[in-house]
Amino acid sequence: MTGRVHSRTFGLALSWAMLAACTGSSTPRPAVEAPDTIFTGTFITLDPSRLRVEALAVRGGRIVAAGSRAEVERLAGAGTQTVAIPGVAVPGWADAHVHDADTRGQIVPGEPINLRGMTKPRILEGIAALARAATPGETISGEGWDEGFFDPPVFPTAADLDAVSGDHPVVLSRIDGHSSWVNSLVLTQSAIARATADPAGGRILRNAAGDPTGILVDRAQGLIVRAEGDRKGGGAGDAADRARTTLRQYARLGYTSVHLAGVDLGTIAAYGQLLPEGLPVRVYAMARGEAAVREYLAKSPEPALGDGQLAVRSFKFLIDGALGSRGALLAEPYADAPREHGLSMMTDAELEAIVRDARAKGFQLNVHAIGDKAVARVLDAFERGGVTAADRFRIEHASMVAPADIARFARLGVIASMQPVFLGEYSRWAEDRLGTARMRSVLPVHDLLAAGAVVACGTDYGASDSGDPIRTLSALVAGRSADGTPGGAWYVPQRVDVDAALRCMSTAPAFAAFQEHDLGALTVGRYADFTVLSADPYEVAPDELKSLAARMTVMAGRVTYDAGGPAVARN
């Protein structure tokens, strides 16, 4: 049995018809000048008029011809370079929601403070070792813990850390970044006690006596007072180096574009600093923070800096927290915390004001909403604000969508920016959070596509199990989590075929970034952005898609990663 199936999704989805109308012909055209490069091999174009070609001719970073090898090679000149690709190419993969790493440990596996997939005893053992090696009073920081790997799978406490941390403050961020586990020393230094009130949009978890347990959710994390010198920021050169390292790693994973979900002015400047040398991956930056939003509202969107390498034309806001931290805003209480509905980060009036301001200045608005009530509130605000499909406003995550709201995405032209790799995390604990009946509303990828909505997929790394696009493909088609195990039965109806998955990973993100005329398919006139895989995904059994590997990444006709070079471990 192979993975080749006819799409049961696209026949229903108006969204793909709309996106397909933007694709151009792949037929070779006479070139005024000979191409710089001709790539030969097997290319899956996602162009309905010609789904596969044997060669692409590229000049100035764009495709000038696509067709059979014989007809394309006739265009070659004396200076044309020919490159045989080491596998099967698909239109360049884009991560529609990922984060700029503030430490290399988020991108390069193996860093000592990377807590992903660890049991609580293993974490405590590691903290004890770090405490013995650290200088007196030095803060120990970590990230990526998930109580789904604990036995029992419940939130840890400050007392757990107190037993191993000595005189060191310890701050450990949960995998979603929406809660922190701290020891008692941090609580004391930060004056977080029984009398401390929960901040707006945040929660201090407490025991039966009302004392803080050591878990701070969402904006309660802002109460942490860090020791002087902790997490010192580097200069502009350091920021540019981190940005370069981050993008090179994403290129090795097969990405040609990333949508950075929430960056400040300094980070945007760091990417801008790299434009003269050429970015290895295109960056679609969502500006976040009062200073960034204020500055960009005072000027105009920047949709194509560095010949399309960097775009700043959207804002990122949060309306709720995360499901794992019980900060996602739900219509009904959490099943495992009946007094809790989640947290609200914005009022309706605040959201409607930014909708008006963004539309008036031509900026896209991307709103983080995970819980079903949060999603409904964002859709309501968009509808009241007169948002249309032309605005291409997005809901980031849309992890829970009430059945009544599925069709509203298509009707309002709102893009669902979703992360199928959440399948693994949600399989660990979401049924405890929500109960069996509500699981039908979790990650409704197929339902949204069938309703005609545009679904652009990403990973939310480093706030997820993996930033690897192969894991996204496997989750979409086979329903397998990042570690390759089958996800919950609740997700089975939401699986899609390979064709739908590839479009969610390239065509839809291009549309979600207003880049559909330049990216998302391999046709004449578009940039030569493609990802070369070790095998044809249409010919691989769904359960074996996880074994695919990126062999080469090409952006604007420039090879940004070649597997013939140093190997890269998956994150």
**What was the pLDDT predicted at 24?**
53
For the ranges 12-21, 41-50, 221-230, which has the lowest average pLDDT? 12-21
Q: How far is CA 220 from CA 177, 187, 199, 202, 372, in A?
A: 12, 12, 6, 5, 22
pLDDT value of position 13: 42
Please, which pLDDT band fits residue 565 given cuts at 50, 70 and 90? low
Model confidence at 7, pLDDT cuts 50, 70, 90, reads very low
For residue 554, the Cα-to-chain-centroid distance in whole angstroms is: 20
* Low-confidence winner among 145-154, 234-243, 359-368 (lowest mean pLDDT): 234-243
**Residue whose structure tokens are 């829970």:** 400
Q: Quickly count helices (H) and strands (E) in the chain.
A: 16, 21
Domain boundaries, the chain: 24-91+518-571, 110-231+310-496
Spell out the SS3 assignment of 513-566.
Answer: CCCCCCCCCCCCCCECCEEEECCCHHHCCHHHHHHCCEEEEEECCEEEEECCCC
100: confidence class by pLDDT, cuts 50, 70, 90: confident
The answer, yes or no, to whether residue 231 has pLDDT greater than 90, is no
pLDDT 10s digits, 295-335:
999 999 999 999 999 999 999 999 999 999 999 999 999 99
Does the pLDDT at position 180 exceed 90?
yes
At residue 345 the predicted structure's pLDDT band, cuts being 50, 70 and 90, is very high
Residue pLDDT, tens place only, 517-538? 999 999 999 999 999 999 999 9
**What fold characterizes domain 110-231+310-496?**
TIM Barrel (3.20.20)
Classify domain 24-91+518-571 at the CATH class level: mainly beta
pLDDT confidence of residue 26: 56
- What is residue 105's predicted lDDT score, i.e. its pLDDT? 37
User: Using an 8 Å Cβ cutoff, are 368 and 323 in contact?
Assistant: no
Instruction: State the pLDDT at residue 328.
Output: 98
Candidates 247, 182, 238, 187; CA nearest to 211 is 187
Q: What is the DSSP letter of 275?
A: G
Is residue 409 within 8 Å of residue 447, measured between CB atoms? no
Between CA 459 and CA 41 the distance in angstroms is 29
Comparing CA positions, the residue from 339, 342, 332, 340 lying closest to residue 437 is: 332
Classify residue 346 by its DSSP letter: S
Write the pLDDT tens digit of every residue in 15-45: 555 555 555 555 555 555 899 999 999 999 9
Mean pLDDT check: name the lowest of 190-194, 232-236, 406-410, 551-555: 232-236
Residue 106 confidence (pLDDT) above 80: no
pLDDT of residue 137: 93
Shared fold status for 24-91+518-571 and 110-231+310-496: no
Average pLDDT over residues 354-362: 97
Q: What is the dihedral of CA 422, 423, 425, 427, to 10 degrees?
A: 160
The average pLDDT across 114-128 equals 95
Q: Cβ distance 370 to 323 under 8 Å? A: yes
Residue 374 and residue 360: Cα distance in Å, rounded?
24
Each residue of 246-278: pLDDT tens digit?
999 999 999 999 999 999 999 999 999 999 999
